[in-house]
Amino acid sequence: MNSLEDIVSLCKRRGYIFPGSDVYGGMAGTWDFGPLGVALKKKIMDKWWKFFVEDREDIYGVDAAILMNPKTWEASGHTATFSDPLVECKSCHGRFRADKLADGITESVTTDAFKALNVKCPTCGKSDWGEIRQFNMMFSTHVGAVLPDDEAGDEGARERAKKSIAYLRPETAQGIFTNYKNVVDTIYPDMPFGIAQQGKAFRNEISPRDFILRDRECSQMEIEYFVHPGTWEENFEKILKLQHEFLEGEMGLDSSKIHEYEVPAEDRAHYSKRTVDIEFDYPNGKEELMGVAYRTDFDLMNIAKASGKNMEYRDKNTGETYVPHVIEPSIGVERLILAVLSCAYAEDEVGGSKRVVLRLPEDLAPYRFCVSPLLKNKPELVEKAHEVYAALRAKYGNVTWDDSGNIGKRYRKQDEIGTPKCVVIDFDTLEDGTVTVRDRDTAEQVRVQPEEL
Ligand SMILES: [Zn+2]
Q: Domain limits of the chain? A: 1-66+169-352, 367-452
Distance 285 CA to ligand 1 centre (A): 25
**Ligand 1 midpoint to CA 89 (Å):** 5
Q: What pLDDT score was predicted for residue 270?
A: 75
- d(Cα 278, Cα 260) in Å, to the nearest integer? 5
Expressed in angstroms and rounded, the spacing between residue 88 Cα and the centre of ligand 1 is: 8
Residues near ion ligand 1 (Cβ under 5 Å):
89, 91-92, 94, 121, 123-124
Asked if 183 contacts 195 with a C-beta cutoff of 8 angstroms, the reply is yes
Q: Is the bond preceding residue 208 a cis peptide, omega within 30 degrees?
A: no
For residue range 79-92, what is the model confidence (pLDDT) as tens digits? 988 899 999 999 99
Write the CA distances from 43 to 1, 104, 202, 245, 340, integer angstroms: 26, 37, 22, 17, 12
Report the separation in Å between the CA atom of 92 and the middle of ligand 1, taken as the mean of its atom positions: 4
Give the helix ranges, DSSP H, for 277-331.
298-307
What is the CA(114)–ligand 1 centre distance, in A?
Answer: 15
pLDDT band at 382 (very low <50, low <70, confident <90, very high): very high
H or E element that contains 294: strand 285-296
CA of 95 to the centre of ligand 1 (A): 8
Distance of CA 97 from the midpoint of ligand 1 (Å)? 13
Superfamily, domain 1-66+169-352: Bira Bifunctional Protein; Domain 2 (3.30.930.10)
| 367-452 shares the fold of 1-66+169-352 | no
- Mean residue pLDDT of the chain comes to 94
Task: Please state the separation of Cα 236 from the chain's center in Å.
Answer: 22
pLDDT score of 1: 57
Report in angstroms the alpha-carbon separations of 27 from 19, 170, 197, 208, 216: 7, 19, 27, 11, 10
Cα of 82 vs centre of ligand 1, distance in Å, is 26
Q: Is the pLDDT of residue 263 over 60?
A: yes
Ligand 1 centroid, distance to 128 Cα (angstroms):
8
CATH code for the structural domain at 367-452: 3.40.50.800
Residues 112 and 314: their CA atoms lie apart, in Å, by 51
